[in-house]
Structure 1
Amino acid sequence: MTTPTMTIPTQRKPLRLKRMRKRSAQAERSLFRILLRDKVGLAGGLIVVVVALAAVLAPLVAPYDPTAMSEWRLSSPNSVFLLGSDEAGRDLLSRSIYGARTSLTVSITVIACAAIIGVTLGLLAGYYRGLVDNIIMRFMDVLFAFPTLLLALAVVAALGTAIENLILALVIVFIPTFARIARSAAITLAQEPFVESARAIGARDSYIVFRYILPNALAPIAVQVTISLAYAILVEASLGYLGLGVQPPAASWGAMLASGKAFVEISIWPSLVPGVCIFITVLGFNLLGDALRDSLDPRLRSQA
């Protein structure tokens, strides 16, 4: 008697992976088309790119050393100093470019650390719920109880004005926002059938959280990153204005505003130039964040 044989569909898994990759590529093209249609978002992205390039290439694009002093004090824009000079005769254009490097370095470092810590805590709180959720979120509530700038001021005043302390203060400020967003997404996604299926086959909790829940929660997290970057620039500039940010002679937009206010009746340029830089950079990140939020909306993507 011949034993019947069974044909194993060895091509099913490769075909499934191929289809998933095809759908992912189609979704990326759809997202890119929506972003291209949003002219305001493109303008915001262009602003962010220009500011980032200026910060990265500061030694190459800045016409002068930002700490070099001259006899041209509080001068208006001219052929020597394109945006004028400050009370010490330093070039405002060069100091603004290096100020962009300071603001972006601090802001990107802060938001990257805050996002990693906050998202991890939020995912754990939303996935496990119960005691873990209560402990993590009550601690986040304590941080939320303090006004953002006041909490940052307290940390910097207690630890000192070193740039490491400034970054630490801002990381503490931004962690709760990312934790709440990740927790909300984790609570919703933990009830989805694909997560329950992963549990049924014995997948580890860490695998489920970072393989299934985190990728599906990236959309709101990405939007929050762009918005938080804009806010971090404002907070860093505020601390610099109060003398608790990056210390002179290093260039900082907030410190430039603070030093320029004493001479505003003589020359507006030392205050106007850094103020415009802060405004344009924050505007660029906000416009980019709005465009990213709209492009990640499933209802809009389905129309692309």
Structure 2
Amino acid sequence: MVTDVDTVTKVRARRLSGGGALVRQLMRDKVGAVGLTIVLLMAAAAALAPVIAPYDPTAMSNQRLAQPGGTFLLGADEAGRDLLSRALYGARTSLAVSLIVVGCAATVGVLLGLLAGFYRGVLDAIITPVTDIMFAFPTLLLALAVVAARGPGTENLIIALVLVFIPSFARIVRGTAMSVRREPFVESGQAVGLSNARLIVKYILPNSIAPIAVQFTTSIAYAILIEASLGYLGLGVQPPQPSWGSMLSNGKAFMEMSIWPSVVPGVCIMIAVLGFNLLGDTLRDVLDPRLRGRTNR
């Protein structure tokens, strides 16, 4: 016998499984198409960096601060290293760190949000104040404090950024869980004897996918920016591994002789952040029924 609860679940599952339809909607929107294209190109550049990079990003030469168009397509830095190769490997570093950070933060934050929003009571009284306290600190300042306390390096950078991004996911999912928990189909599930864990997995979590997806996309943009900021201060990914932030920092001392060691990583950061922000903005419009009229801009 098929219950109303099962019917609602199947309908919602079909909506969530329409990945192809979602991509088509994104591509029909001009802003979304630009954002998705930038993100895909960045991902391709990061994945194929060892193949398409013309030189070893750490190999030095005597062509220090060479201008673009010669041996090096985008010029060379103060140590004679190819800026194009370093930019490609910098994309690899930035995207890898951002995905790891946001993925871990989303996992922990979603779990905390589900527990706080569904069970309320003592769990909510503990989780919500802690996340509110973390929200009281500026994001970059909090990340800077954690990295400064633990020391520079990729591992400490990831730990700091994970702690920074957990509260945003927890707050979003908590709100959704509190709202969905009062829906009739959840009450029907409770009436037929479904366990709390089953209700969370079957009803609460699927209804949280849309806000989680939007937050995930925009958080990657912010993670790229913070990773570059900490790299600029020398607290992020350490040499000789290329990083857009450290490239920007090293290039600033030679601006009078050549602008390219700073311009190349700066433009890369700008385009990457822009792409994820545009994609996140359009994704929000597509997934939120109240905003669908704004698509096809």
Asked if Structure 1 and Structure 2 have the same fold, meaning a TM-score greater than 0.5 normalized by the shorter chain, the answer is yes
Distance across 2 between alignment mates of 1:22 and 1:147? 38
Instruction: Give the match's secondary structure for 1:178.
Output: helix
When the two chains are superposed, the root-mean-square deviation of aligned CA atoms in Å is: 2.5
Shift of 1:236: 0.2
Is residue 2:36 matched to residue 1:49? Answer: no
**Bigger radius of gyration:** 1
Aligned residues: 294
For residue 278 of structure 2, what is the aligned residue in structure 1? 287
Shift of 1:211: 1.5
Contact 2:90 2:244 (C-alpha < 8 Å) held by counterparts: yes
Contact 2:8 2:185 (C-alpha < 8 Å) held by counterparts: no
Shift of 1:273: 0.3
Q: Which runs of 5+ in 2 are unaligned?
A: none
Q: 1:94/1:133 Cα in 2 relative to 1: closer, same or farther (>3 Å)?
A: same
1:265 pairs, out of 256, 259, 274, with 256
1:58 pairs, out of 49, 63, 67, with 49
Shift of 1:61: 0.6
Q: Deviations over 1:28-48 (max 9, x none)?
A: 665444323201111110111
For residue 97 of structure 2, what is the aligned residue in structure 1? 106
Contact 2:67 2:260 (C-alpha < 8 Å) held by counterparts: yes
- How does the TM-score come out when normalised to structure 2? 0.92
1:119 pairs, out of 90, 110, 114, with 110
Q: 1:84/1:26 Cα in 2 relative to 1: closer, same or farther (>3 Å)?
A: closer
- How does the TM-score come out when normalised to structure 1? 0.90
Distance across 1 between alignment mates of 2:186 and 2:12? 20
Is residue 2:183 matched to residue 1:192? Answer: yes
Instruction: Give the match's secondary structure for 1:217.
Output: helix
Contact 2:74 2:82 (C-alpha < 8 Å) held by counterparts: yes
Whichever residue aligns with residue 261 of structure 1, its letter is: K
Q: Deviations over 1:220-272 (max 9, x none)?
A: 11001110000000000000000000011110000000000000011000000
Is residue 2:277 matched to residue 1:250? Answer: no
Q: 1:290/1:17 Cα in 2 relative to 1: closer, same or farther (>3 Å)?
A: closer
Contact 2:285 2:294 (C-alpha < 8 Å) held by counterparts: no
Shift of 1:169: 0.3
1:146 pairs, out of 137, 141, 156, with 137
Contact 1:149 1:235 (C-alpha < 8 Å) held by counterparts: yes
Is residue 2:199 matched to residue 1:208? Answer: yes
Whichever residue aligns with residue 202 of structure 2, its letter is: R
Q: 1:282/1:21 Cα in 2 relative to 1: closer, same or farther (>3 Å)?
A: closer
Distance across 1 between alignment mates of 2:87 and 2:18? 39
Q: 1:82/1:32 Cα in 2 relative to 1: closer, same or farther (>3 Å)?
A: closer
Matches within 5 A, 1:215-234: 215-234=206-225
Q: Which moved more, 1:83-92 or 1:193-202?
A: 193-202
Is residue 2:86 matched to residue 1:95? Answer: yes
Distance across 1 between alignment mates of 2:135 and 2:11? 40
Q: 1:197/1:95 Cα in 2 relative to 1: closer, same or farther (>3 Å)?
A: same
Q: Which runs of 5+ in 1 are unaligned?
A: 1-9
Distance across 2 between alignment mates of 1:166 and 1:201? 47
Is residue 2:149 matched to residue 1:158? Answer: yes
4+ aligned runs moved over 3 Å, structure 1 = 10-13, 15-33, 299-304
2:74 pairs, out of 47, 71, 83, with 83
For residue 4 of structure 1, what is the aligned residue in structure 2? none
1:130 pairs, out of 98, 121, 124, with 121
Is residue 2:175 matched to residue 1:179? Answer: no
